[in-house]
Amino acid sequence: MTLTPSNVACVWGANGISGTAMIDLLVEQPRNEWSKIICISRRPTQLDVEDDRVHFISIDILQANVDEIVTELSKAGGESITHVYHYTYIEKKDEKELDQVNTILFQKALDATVKIAGKQIKCVLLQTGYKYYGVHKGGEYLASCPYTEDAPRHKGSNFYYIQEDLLKEYAEKNGWKYIITRPNIIIGVSRGNFMNFAVSLALYACIQKEKSQPLYFPGNEIAWNSIVDHSDALNNARFQLWSSTNDKIQNEIFNIHNGDEVKFRTLWPKIEKYFDFTPYKQKFNTQNDIKIGDIGILRLSLAKYMPENKDIWSRLAKRNELDESAFNYATWEFIDFVLGRTFDDHGDMTKARQYGWTTTVDTSECFIQCFDRLKKMDVIPFN
């Protein structure tokens, strides 16, 4: 590991669950290894860290030009950046707009990095995900499972492909090392950012509890019995820090998940227990027309159900003095997407293991820790 006092991290997407996890990890590192942590996000800081190495920049990357971004980086000492961690992402329902917006975000980050720090950069790490393997499209677009990092790209557009190609191009031109990591469903929470699976699932559980109804599994029977990888945000960050500072790892792409085999049929009862539900025997209707690889096969669409019950959430939030806005940021469509699939969603971690990554994380414990934190943040009630 080549780390000197001159090592400076730059975290793009600092307020999200992945960026927050990386910053939390970096501030735990010795000062003689990391002298500065520059954090960039559109919104003002939501971080719960007190460390004079942390410098926060609030700027709208889409609206700002590269020179304006460089000016802000310079104010924070960006000329000394050695390691870049990129997590920025904006959700758009239109696929063409999704590709365009997220390509712009990354290209501006790369251009600003070149201008401010140039060839002194040691590593740029880009986080993408399993959409690389076509999981969001299903059917003929799906890579063979378990997904391997060298899987052929599916036909059609995918902004991950554009981002990865950009990174390789910039890294070769500027002499940078690059690392690309592909996590799956990321478990975590950051203050003011509730756009993730675990938070949305917790809000659904609270609604069902308030209505004295069981915690119905909204998806189909195949999803209930299929393997689905989860990626704890802090575990991701640990792997990313380890791989980006490991001299033996050069210009590689890695799947990264918790390493345990997870099926909702075993995870769901633990979530029921946490929220004190009476165990419910899930009932599935036989659907003979379902094919392996289908998406959107649901018994209950939370994208429809939850807005219909928003008044119940408002009542619950007011009674318990909770952060009522959490409901507005929840990602019901994402839960529908995850639970409506009819295939295993599993990445091969052989490459990471071969390089020496041995960590395995208990996914159910990750959910419990996330729910506990939501209680402390007044997002869900203690009882």
Domains with residue ranges and CATH for the chain: 8-185+231-255 (3.40.50.720), 192-228+260-376 (3.40.50.720)
Q: For 340-382, what is each residue's pLDDT tens digit?
A: 999 999 999 999 999 999 999 999 999 999 999 999 999 999 8
Instruction: State residue 58's pLDDT score.
Output: 96
CA angle 24, 27, 29 (to 5 degrees): 115
Residue 215's contacts (CB-CB under 8 Å, 6 or more residues apart) are: 204, 205, 208, 268, 271, 272, 275, 277, 280
pLDDT at 4: 55
pLDDT above 90: percentage of residues in the chain: 86
3-state secondary structure 102-135: HHHHHHHHHHHHHHHHHHHCCEEEEECCHHHHCC
At which residue do the structure tokens 């939370």 appear? 302
For residues 315-320, average pLDDT: 96
How many other β-carbons are positioned within 10 Å of the β-carbon of residue 170? Answer: 20
Provide the total of helices (H) and of strands (E) in the chain, helices listed first: 14, 9
- Give SS3 for 11: strand
pLDDT in tens, 55-109: 999 999 999 999 999 999 999 999 999 999 999 999 888 999 999 999 999 999 9
Confidence at residue 383, expressed as pLDDT on a 0 to 100 scale: 74
pLDDT at 6: 75
Peptide bond into 381 cis (omega under 30): no
Q: How far does Cα 366 stand from its chain's mean position?
A: 14
Dig out the tokens for 78 from the structure: 């960006």
Distance CA 8, CA 183 (A): 24
User: What average pLDDT does the segment 199-205 reach?
Assistant: 96
How far apart are alpha carbons 346 and 148 in whole angstroms? 9
Task: Round to whole Å and give the CA distance between 303 and 288.
Answer: 25
pLDDT band at 1 (very low <50, low <70, confident <90, very high): very low
| Residue 194: per-residue pLDDT | 57
Phi, psi (degrees; rounded to nearest 5) at 354: -65, -30
Residue 36 is given by DSSP the state: E
328 compared with 103, residue with greater pLDDT: 103
Kindly report the backbone phi and psi dihedral angles of residue 37, in degrees, each rounded to the nearest multiple of 5, phi listed first.
-130, 105
Mean pLDDT for the stretch of residues 223-244? 98
Q: What is the pLDDT of residue 285?
A: 77
- Distance, in Å, from the CA atom of 109 to the CA atom of 72, rounded to the nearest integer, reads 12
- Mind listing the pLDDT tens digit for each residue in 98-154? 999 999 999 999 999 999 999 899 999 999 999 999 999 999 999 999 999 999 999
